[in-house]
């Protein structure tokens, strides 16, 4: 038996579902923050098993989806420079900017390579030492420590042809913004397992207290997700909102102090633009002054220019949990995984992509 099998067994999920069905007395709206949760919920058909009174909303936890078109344009501008190779995660390559994507730029002759980690990009810089390697550094607290470790390695190894476009983001600020929106009426948060491993379960205490919000940190297997949802429902029913850590095999109350130290060593907070959510104070990460030499925007004079999201695309409303993908007029018509209009249809963790792949209607 594989380790994951235990968390998919009906012996465990069956009683959890039965309890969920028994203890819900009113309709509730729960936001699953993380894109990996969204994908797992669809993959395992969890939506169709839940009591009717539970509405699941997807949140802003897909890093590719929340990266604004202005940053995608900057990644493309970098790729179009002579002697530059953009080394990027694969799911970023087809995300549309204001005019085209990295994939389209590559088809027109720009050099874009897919890497699986920032360290792979650094390795490319070592091999191609007559080129400048630019890594689009998107991601949340989960990914940023490895980017920070790569910058420190580049500095230590005196590799001077490696750069990043810093586009990392932190999760508490957009959650605060969303929970303060009365239009959303969220009763509970299924907190992201990966991000929580770094920032710790206690990071959600201010949200739980300020908004009387029932929170559960959950892993990604069906039993994890159902246990998280059950915890939220029980908190709501008992009128005792709190933060329940249902993923203690990975997440501690304080998080990963070493990873937090790496982030703080290399980066410092800045205001950041989120697709669909706008400018959120303190939610982005820029390089500390002592690492400014790794900043591609500065060193290669790449501008970030404000731009519109693709016309008709409702990714912003999807990321805020205001609508579901079928509510977008382009869904499944002009926008499909083969011909995506917005990032939520491209990314492996995008809500539109998950809906398109797994929706019951299909
Ligand atoms: S279906 Fe496509 S265009 Fe509509 S919100 Fe999703 S990604 Fe954007």
Give per-residue pLDDT as tens, 31-53. Answer: 998 888 998 998 888 988 898 89
Ligand 1 pocket residue status of 276, Cβ below 6 Å: no
Asked whether the predicted pLDDT for residue 63 surpasses 80, the reply is yes
Ligand 1 pocket residue status of 314, Cβ below 6 Å: yes
CA distance 19 to 158: 58
CA distance 164 to 147: 9
CA distance 350 to 346: 7
What residues make up the domain containing 156? 66-171+256-299
In a domain, 121, yes or no: yes
Distances (CA, A) of 329 to 64, 129, 130, 324: 22, 47, 47, 11
Give residue 349's pLDDT.
Answer: 82
Q: Which atom of ligand 1 lies closest to the CA of 352? A: 6
CA distance 113 to 90: 9
Count the domains in the chain: 1
Q: What percentage of the chain has pLDDT greater than the value 70?
A: 98
CA distance 171 to 62: 11
Quote the Cα angle for 338-75-77, to 5°: 110
CA distance 359 to 324: 11
Q: Which helix (H) or strand (E) holds 299?
A: helix 296-299
What is the CATH classification number for the domain harbouring 128? 3.40.50.11740
Report the interhelical angle of 118-127 vs 144-156 (nearest 10°).
30
Ligand 1 pocket residue status of 328, Cβ below 6 Å: yes
Asked whether the predicted pLDDT for residue 260 surpasses 50, the reply is yes
In a domain, 274, yes or no: yes
Asked whether the predicted pLDDT for residue 6 surpasses 80, the reply is no
In a domain, 153, yes or no: yes
- Which residue, 3, 33, 109, is CA-closest to 320? 33
In a domain, 39, yes or no: no
In a domain, 133, yes or no: yes
In a domain, 348, yes or no: no
| Burial classification of residue 106, based on how many CB atoms lie within 10 Å of its CB (0-12 exposed, 13-18 middle, 19 or more buried) | middle
Ligand 1 pocket residue status of 89, Cβ below 6 Å: no
In a domain, 190, yes or no: no
99 secondary structure, DSSP code: S
Atom 7, ligand 1: which residue's CA is nearest? 342
pLDDT tens, residue by residue, 266-302? 999 999 999 888 999 999 999 999 999 999 999 999 9
117 secondary structure, DSSP code: S
CA distance 57 to 318: 9
In a domain, 162, yes or no: yes
């Amino acid at each position: 038996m594989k380790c994951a099998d235990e968390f998919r067994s009906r012996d465990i999920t069956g009683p959890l579902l039965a309890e969920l069905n028994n203890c819900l007395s009113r309709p509730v709206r729960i936001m699953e923050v993380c894109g990996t949760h969204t994908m797992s919920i669809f993959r395992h058909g969890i939506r169709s098993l839940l009591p009717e009174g539970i509405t699941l909303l997807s949140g802003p936890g897909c890093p590719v989806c929340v990266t604004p078109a202005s940053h995608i344009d900057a990644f493309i501008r970098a790729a179009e420079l002579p002697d530059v190779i953009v080394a990027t995660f694969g799911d970023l390559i087809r995300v549309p900017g204001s005019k085209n994507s990295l994939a389209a730029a590559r088809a027109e002759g720009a050099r874009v390579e897919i890497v699986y980690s920032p360290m792979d990009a650094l390795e490319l810089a070592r091999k191609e030492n007559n080129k400048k390697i630019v890594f689009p550094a998107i991601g949340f607290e989960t990914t940023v420590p490895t980017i920070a470790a790569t910058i420190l390695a580049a500095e230590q190894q005196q590799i001077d042809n490696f750069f990043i476009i810093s586009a990392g983001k932190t999760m508490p600020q957009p959650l605060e913004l969303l929970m303060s929106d009365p239009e959303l009426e969220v009763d509970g948060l299924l907190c992201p397992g990966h991000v929580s491993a770094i920032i710790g379960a206690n990071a959600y205490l201010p949200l739980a207290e300020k908004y009387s919000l029932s929170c559960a940190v959950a892993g990604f297997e069906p039993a994890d997700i159902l246990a998280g949802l059950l915890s939220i429902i029980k908190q709501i029913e008992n009128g005792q909102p709190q933060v329940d850590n249902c993923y203690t095999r990975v997440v501690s109350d304080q998080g990963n102090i070493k990873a937090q130290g790496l982030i703080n060593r290399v980066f410092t907070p800045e205001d950041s633009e989120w697709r669909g959510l706008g400018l959120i104070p303190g939610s982005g990460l820029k390089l500390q002054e002592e690492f400014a030499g790794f900043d591609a925007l500065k060193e290669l004079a790449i501008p970030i220019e404000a731009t519109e999201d693709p016309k008709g695309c409702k990714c912003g409303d999807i990321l805020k949990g205001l609508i579901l993908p079928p509510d977008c007029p382009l869904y499944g018509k002009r926008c499909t995984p083969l011909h995506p209009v917005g990032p939520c249809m491209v990314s492996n963790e995008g809500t539109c992509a998950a809906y398109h792949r797994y929706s019951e209607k299909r």
